[in-house]
Each structure stands twice: as structure tokens, then as C-alpha cells.
Amino acid sequence: MTKEMRYRFAERKDTPLILDFIRRLAEYEKMSDQVVADEKLLEEWIFDRQKAEVIFVLAGEKEAGFALFFHNFSTFLGRAGIYLEDLFVLPEYRGQGYGKSLLKKLAQTAVERGCGRLEWSCLDWNRPSIDFYLSLDAEPMTGWTVYRLSGETLRRMAEDGAEQDSAAFAEMI
């Protein structure tokens, strides 16, 4: 007999809990030094700007795991998808179906919203997660590399773009 999983979408009052899950995930991924998010930022971007959503899977009344996701867009499919940014299950609940149930709930959400896909990234060294995803028939995307601009590099690119726009505007007048 499989246990019935319950879920709930995060509310503003859950912001400290969301940050706690993020910090625990960062610790697991050996990236704690990269967490600059705080409650104020999360509240602004998740609840005020509505740029991401969070869903919890419950063990009784306790949150056993969380998934933070947002919509992206596939030009090839001509429709939105769901991008799973983070999925984390507390260690004491791993191996009991909570992670799988969260992915099933996200798949259900994607289908209900008419999305064309559910996708995510995984660290190359994270063999337990890779094996888990493969067991669900998730397909690894070979031939693709993630690129990122952040921090000072992002700011420098933006400044270069602003200078380019100013120069183009000056040529027009």
C-alpha cells in the first residue's frame, strides 16, 4: 500500500521555511557560501513579483520537502513549460517516495496548465539524484551546456549594453 502524499503551495508566511530549505539544499550541494538570498528578497520575488512558486510535500503536518519552480517558454513548442529550480527532501524523509511524489505533482501541474515540458538541471557529481531521475524515465539532455552571467560579469554586460544603446540613440538624432 502506498501512502497518499499531501501538498500545499507556499504562502507569504512560509518565507522563513523556504529560506531554510534553500540553505539545507545549498549545504547538501556544497554551495552554502553562494546563498545570498534572505527572507526579504524571497518574499519580494516569490510573493510580490510572483516570479516563482513553491510547493511543499507533507509528512503528516510537517513539510518533508519542497520544490521551487517557475514558468519558462519553449519557442519550438510554442508554449510555456515548468522549470524546476530546486527540489529538496529532508534527509529523514528520503527513500520514502516524497521526492518522486513532488515530481509527479509538478508534472500534474504542468499538464493542468497546458505546459509542454517539465525540466531541471542536476549537478554532474550528484549520482544519487541522477539515478533517481533516470529511474523516472527522465531524459538527460546531452549536447547542451548551461551558460551563466552573474555578479560583476552580468553588471559589466548590462553597462556595455546601456553604452551601446546610448551610442545608437545619439546616431539617430
- What string of H, E and C letters represents the secondary structure of the chain? CCCCCEEEECCHHHHHHHHHHHHHHHHHCCCHHHCCCCHHHHHHHHHHCCCCEEEEEEECCEEEEEEEEEEEEECCCCEEEEEEEEEEECHHHCCCCHHHHHHHHHHHHHHHCCCCCEEECCCCCCHHHHHHHHHCCCCCCCCCCCCCCCHHHHHHHHHHHHHHHHHHHHHHC
Euclidean distance between CA atoms 106 and 100, whole angstroms? 10
27 Cβ contact partners less than 8 Å away, ≥ 6 residues apart: none
6 Cβ contact partners less than 8 Å away, ≥ 6 residues apart: 57, 58
Euclidean distance between CA atoms 65 and 25, whole angstroms? 10
Q: Which pLDDT score is estimated for 5? A: 87
Euclidean distance between CA atoms 59 and 84, whole angstroms? 21
Q: Which pLDDT score is estimated for 48? A: 98
Take residue 4 and report the three cell numbers written for it: 497518499
Under a CB-based contact definition with an 8 Å cutoff, are residues 57 and 68 in contact? no
Length of the chain measured in residues:
173
Residue carrying the nine cell digits 521551487 = 68
Q: Which pLDDT score is estimated for 1? A: 37
pLDDT tens across the length of the chain (173 residues):
346 789 999 999 999 999 999 999 999 999 999 999 999 999 999 999 999 999 999 999 999 999 999 999 999 999 999 999 999 999 999 999 999 999 999 999 999 999 999 999 999 999 999 999 999 999 999 998 889 898 999 999 999 877 776 666 566 66
Q: Which one is catalytic: 7, 28, 133, 147?
A: 133
Q: Which pLDDT score is estimated for 160? A: 86
Q: Is 18 exposed, middle or buried (0-12, 13-18, 19+ CB in 10 A)?
A: buried
Please name the fold of domain 6-144: Aminopeptidase (3.40.630)
Q: Is 7 a catalytic residue?
A: no
